[in-house]
């Protein structure tokens, strides 16, 4: 395994550990589940939300069978990201995939333990919420995907000098 892949796996591990530590803080010391909401700033609060679906609450799992189907599906997707990360050669792509992988695993752990993903980060302006309530894992997944998209759109490979010289010869 190359050093670049190790960095990706280290980032994924760090994301999982931080994600689970923050969720533990929401559940145990802060008791957010019983309080519902803790207002921190005029535009940010900690709000308890149980996401029984996947991204943006889609595909809600109403039964245990559906819950475990989502665990299996997201596990397959996490495995696909791991394989993709193993094939990448560029540090930026590997780190983006590491963030996605860590976020996916953090949310899989929640769904397996609780039957839902713990969400708590709530940005708002008055009653307007430009985002769904989310967590650190969701943020890492989103940032990783945005980095991959930006790199795919903006970081083009330079044409091989030897091939362009042969065309003009």
Per-domain boundaries in the chain: 3-154
Residue range 46-53: mean pLDDT, rounded: 92
Share of the chain above pLDDT 70, in %: 88
* pLDDT band with cut points at 50, 70 and 90 for residue 95: very high
- 19 is an active site residue: no
Band (pLDDT 50/70/90 cuts) for residue 55 is: low
Average pLDDT, the chain: 90
CA 141 → CA 22, 30, 41, 63, distances in Å?
Answer: 16, 25, 25, 26
pLDDT higher than 90, residue 148: yes
Q: Band the pLDDT of 62: cuts 50, 70, 90.
A: confident
* Statement: residue 87 has pLDDT above 90: yes
Which residue pairs from 74-82 have beta carbons closer than 8 angstroms and sit at least 24 positions apart in sequence? 74/104, 74/107, 74/108, 74/111, 75/108, 77/104, 78/104, 78/105, 78/108
Confidence of residue 126 (pLDDT cuts 50, 70, 90): confident
Q: What is the mean pLDDT of residues 110-115?
A: 95
Q: Is 119 a catalytic residue?
A: yes
Nearest CA-CA partner of 49 in 19, 23, 78, 28: 23
The pLDDT score that the predictor gives to residue 158 is 57
Q: Which helix (H) or strand (E) holds 118?
A: strand 117-123
CA dist 67 and 165 (Å) reads 57
Choice between 131 and 166, residue whose per-residue pLDDT is larger: 131
CB of 47 closer than 8 Å to CB of 113: no
What is the edge-to-edge ordering of all strands in the sheet holding 37-41? 37-41, 44-51, 117-123
Catalytic residue, chosen from 19, 93, 110, 119, is 119
With a cut of 60, say whether residue 36 has pLDDT above it.
yes
Tell me the pTM: 0.86
Answer whether residue 150 shows pLDDT above 60.
yes
């Amino acid at each position: 395994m190359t050093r670049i892949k190790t960095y990706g796996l280290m980032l994924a591990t760090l994301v999982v550990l931080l994600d689970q530590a923050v969720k533990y803080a929401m559940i145990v010391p802060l008791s957010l589940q019983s309080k519902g909401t803790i207002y921190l700033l005029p535009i940010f609060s900690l709000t308890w939300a149980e996401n029984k679906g996947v991204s943006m609450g889609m595909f809600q799992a109403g039964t245990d069978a559906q819950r475990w189907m989502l665990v299996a599906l997201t596990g397959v997707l996490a495995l696909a990201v791991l394989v993709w990360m193993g094939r990448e050669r560029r540090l930026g792509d590997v780190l983006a995939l590491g963030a996605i992988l860590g976020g996916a695993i953090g949310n899989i752990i929640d769904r397996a333990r609780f039957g839902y993903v713990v969400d708590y980060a709530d940005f708002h302006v008055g009653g307007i919420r430009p985002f769904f309530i989310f967590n650190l894992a969701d943020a890492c997944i989103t940032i990783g995907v945005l980095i991959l998209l930006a790199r795919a759109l903006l970081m083009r490979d330079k044409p091989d000098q030897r091939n362009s010289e042969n065309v003009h010869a």
